[in-house]
Amino acid sequence: MRAIVASPRMLAALDLAERVARTSATVLVQGESGSGKELIARALHHLSLRASRPWVDISCGALPEHLIESELFGYERGAFSGADSAKPGLFELANTGTLFLDEIGELEPRMQVKLLRVLDGMPYYRLGGTKKITVDVRVLTATNVDLEVAVSEGRFRRDLYHRLSQMTLRVPPLRERPEDTQALALHFLSLHDPSVHMSAEALEALVYHSWPGNVRELRNVITRAAILARNGVILSSDLELPVRLQSIPPRTPVEIGSSSQAGAANHPAAHGAILDGLERETIMRVLDETHGHRQRAADLLGISRRTLSRKLRQYRLEEEPSEMLVNGHKWSHDRELPGKTA
């Protein structure tokens, strides 16, 4: 098993997984869709005493209730229409090994009861069977659903939740792991086309995107960019990622020394000033990346050139009435940098 991991948070998650792996505890892996929950689950199996035994996985959200039951517990010949022969369930196939139940939050209530009984060591019947089956299986589960909320809303059994979460591992989303973003991007690029390379600007641009689709979205973006790249180099424009204010990395908070200062910081006017500052900073950074090319900057910002011009006039009036500095050059809002065309 190969994991592409560079961020401290993900390395810490894998370190915890290594410590948990050699126990017999059931583990609940939580995280956003596409963040790498299965990677952690496979690491738990790979590092466990069951590593040489079967690994079996299934998505609980991919099948309707009657099929998930037959998949998990198997069935005998004639149990239902079309059951022409007996079939062992996934619990039997995973005997002495690991069974990974992805999207456990999608499991129907009746199946939750049956799963709880098996986890408590109770034997079970195949569908249509008369012989009880006992298995030795370590169960790992994963979900992008907040199961505590699901329990409070009555959608998930409290006793099953506690049985599954003897140990809980949380996988941070990709937006909180910028080091992994770049490492994974280079890995996906090498898989798609080793002859294509990424520019430094493109690698930096990856860090500023929020990645709501996490690793799956990143892989799609890199694959598309590799196809669009010219001369074997991916530019930031090839990524086709809009620059958004919410994607700016968080800054170290300023310490507030008094309650009056704290009240001022929480005032709506203060919030507006902070947002204006973030917006201005984003515009200046993108202009810096495009060397003052307004149309390219507007495209990256996801706004029209007219809106960009209005924003530039707004911030010139407020902070720099005559000109701005871009890459150490003086630049006026009504013209491009010397040698540049609009």
- Both structure tokens of 51: 């590593």
DSSP 3-state helix, strand, coil percentages of the chain (rounded to 5)?
A: 50, 10, 40
- Calpha distance 187→136 (Å, rounded): 37
- Tokens 């973003």 locate to 181
Each residue's pLDDT tens digit, 191-244? 999 999 999 889 989 988 999 999 999 999 999 999 999 999 999 999 988 754
pTM over 0.85: no
Domains of the chain: 8-172 (3.40.50.300), 178-251+276-331 (1.10.8.60)
- Contact present, 148 and 158 (Cβ < 8 Å): no
The DSSP annotation for 244-284 comes to -GGGSPPPPPPP--SHHHHHHHTSHHHHHHHHHHHHHHHHH
Each residue's pLDDT tens digit, 61-111? 888 877 899 999 999 998 888 888 999 999 999 999 999 999 999 999 999
- Contact present, 324 and 333 (Cβ < 8 Å): yes
Each residue's pLDDT tens digit, 29-47? 999 999 999 999 999 999 9
